[in-house]
């Protein structure tokens, strides 16, 4: 089992370009897995991409387009794009000031349990938030990381949506760090009405060092997955 993960920070990159790149890495892993049937000595690689996207709304395969509250012209006026994509979950927003992480892993290198995978993704964010004295929690039946669950002030700070096939993952999480939360007003986030979104900079009242947040996420991800990151 290969528990090494190749880390790449793509900087600010177009959503469609990044999605295509994810698909390329995903296919490479799946192809190697198919070859392994004839050559058990082959190892599958693992990847982890950090990226920040220009303003974009994405709708998961089971999502409801009515949760996007903008027309094509309004999207254009806001400098935003829209894609219907092949992850789970409903609609979400990505944009500047948000840390997006895409683990493209062969889970057979770690464990074969999608439920556990999602819970560990959440745990990596929960532990990262704890370093800023923010108590992140799970909300039953709602993937992602929330604050003040069970109160009238419940708000989401990190959205998650993944795709997995042949135990290979893609897509991932989006943590609001310094994001402009006004863009969330144009959707019903994750299809959940009546709950707000928040970010680290809103909760702490100051701009946050995004590189520092990434380093904390990497640290906790490595520990939880018993993995080793290789920086390219």
Domain boundary assignment for the chain: 4-231
158 labelled catalytic: no
pLDDT at 92: 87
Q: How far is residue 218's CA from residue 212's CA, in Å, rounded to a whole number?
A: 10
pLDDT at 71: 85
| C-alpha torsion sign, points 177, 124, 26, 46 | positive
Which mean pLDDT values do the consecutive 10-residue runs of the chain (232 residues) have?
Answer: 96 96 97 86 95 94 84 88 86 95 97 96 98 95 91 93 95 97 81 76 98 98 97 80
pLDDT at 190: 55
Q: How far is residue 61's CA from residue 151's CA, in Å, rounded to a whole number?
A: 30
Active-site option among 29, 100, 125, 190: 190
pLDDT at 194: 58
pLDDT at 175: 98
Tokens of 172: 């991932």
pLDDT at 185: 87
Can you give the length of the chain in residues? 232
Beta strands in the chain (DSSP E): 4-12, 47-52, 56-59, 81-84, 91-94, 98-104, 137-139, 142-147, 155-165, 168-176, 196-197, 228-231
Q: What is the CATH number of domain 4-231?
A: 3.30.930.10
Pair 186, 195: CB distance under 8 Å:
no
């Amino acid at each position: 089992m290969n528990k090494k993960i190749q880390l790449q920070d793509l900087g600010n990159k177009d959503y469609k370009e990044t999605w295509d790149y994810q698909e390329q890495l995903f296919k490479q892993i799946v192809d190697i897995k198919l070859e392994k049937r004839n050559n058990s000595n082959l190892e599958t690689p693992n990847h982890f991409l950090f990226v920040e996207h220009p303003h974009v709304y994405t709708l998961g395969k089971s999502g409801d387009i009515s949760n996007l509250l903008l027309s094509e012209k309004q999207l254009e006026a806001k400098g935003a794009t829209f894609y219907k994509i092949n992850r789970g979950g409903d609609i979400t927003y990505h944009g500047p000031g948000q840390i997006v992480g895409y683990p493209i892993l062969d889970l057979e290198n770690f464990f074969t349990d999608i439920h556990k995978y999602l819970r560990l993704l959440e745990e990596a964010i929960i532990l990262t938030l704890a370093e800023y004295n923010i108590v992140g929690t799970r909300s039953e039946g709602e993937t992602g990381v929330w604050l003040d669950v069970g109160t009238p002030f419940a708000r989401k700070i990190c959205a998650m949506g993944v795709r997995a096939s042949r135990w290979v993952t893609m897509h991932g999480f989006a943590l609001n760090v310094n994001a402009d939360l006004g863009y969330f007003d144009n959707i019903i986030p994750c299809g959940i009405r009546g709950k707000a979104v928040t970010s680290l900079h809103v909760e702490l009242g100051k701009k946050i060092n995004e590189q520092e947040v990434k380093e904390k996420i990497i640290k906790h991800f490595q520990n939880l997955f018993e993995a080793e990151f290789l920086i390219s």
